Every structure is written in structure tokens, then in C-alpha cells.
Structure 1
Amino acid sequence: MLGIVFVLLTTVQAAAQPAPQDEVKDALAHAEALYYAARFSDSIALLARIDDLLKTQPGKQPEKIDTKLRLALAHIG
């Protein structure tokens, strides 16, 4: 639970400034861990925030594709 709060706060702060590459990768890794723990709704919520964050940033195609793929898989789960 504490990890989710940390990631949410990090994501909200990142909306005000461009997120470093490592933060996006860390958030994606956390979303993947939530997925494998069968916490699909939490994973979807986190991935939706990552997706919104990446929409405002130019480039970063691999991260955008990875986010969309994981979001689709979480919805299937």
C-alpha cells in the first residue's frame, strides 16, 4: 500500500515537470508487479496515470507502446 502511495505521489509530481526515464521505467515495473499479483485494477490505475504523463512528452515511443500494451493486458486480466 505504501508503495502505491509513493508511486502516485511521484506521478503527480512528475506531471508538473518532465519525468526522468528511470521514473517511468520504475512505474512500469511496479505496474507489472501489480499485474502479476493479480491486482489488475491497481495496475490499470497506475498505467493510466503513466499513459497520461507520457502523452504530454514528445518522443518516448517505446515507453508509450509498452504502457499501452500493459494496459491492454491488465484489462484482459
Structure 2
Amino acid sequence: MALTSNCTDMPTLFVDTHAPLDILTDAASYRIRAVTQVLENISMRGSVECDSMILSDFALLCAIPLRDGCDVLDVMGRRLRARPSD
């Protein structure tokens, strides 16, 4: 499945929808935790001054791995919902 964060109409980055769930969990967690760590570090600073261009770039920097993590979580959710009930 193509990642939402692909920047063109011809996707080049994909999620293996058949990968084991524990591997998908690790991939999503890694991306979400990386962004969380950056944001927590910034929030602990007394003051962060920057112009709107830097802020826009920073937001994109955070949004891409968050979106990738959410895409992987979506794959996991579909796979879990498709499992037969016990």
C-alpha cells in the first residue's frame, strides 16, 4: 500500500500489508516515538524563536513520519478487523 506521505502522483514508498503484525507495530511505533521525542525536547526549551518558513519546514518534518506511522496503524487495523472472530 502506498504511503500517504508520497510527494508525487507516482508513489515510491509503500507499506508491506502482509508483514507480520509485530513488525508493523515496530515500524509505526518507531516513527511516532521519534516525532514525540523531538516535540518533547522542544517543549522543554524556555523559548523557541523562528520565522514562519522554519516553522513550516519543521511542521512538515514532523508530519511526514507521523503520517507514515498512521498509515501503518491503518494497515494493522484492517488486518485485525479482517481476522475471524474467536
More helix by proportion, 1 or 2? 1
| Range into which the TM-score falls when normalised by the shorter chain | 0.3 to 0.5
- TM-score of the pair, normalised by structure 2: 0.34
Q: Which has the higher contact order (CA 8 A, sep 6+)?
A: 2
- TM-score of the pair, normalised by structure 1: 0.36
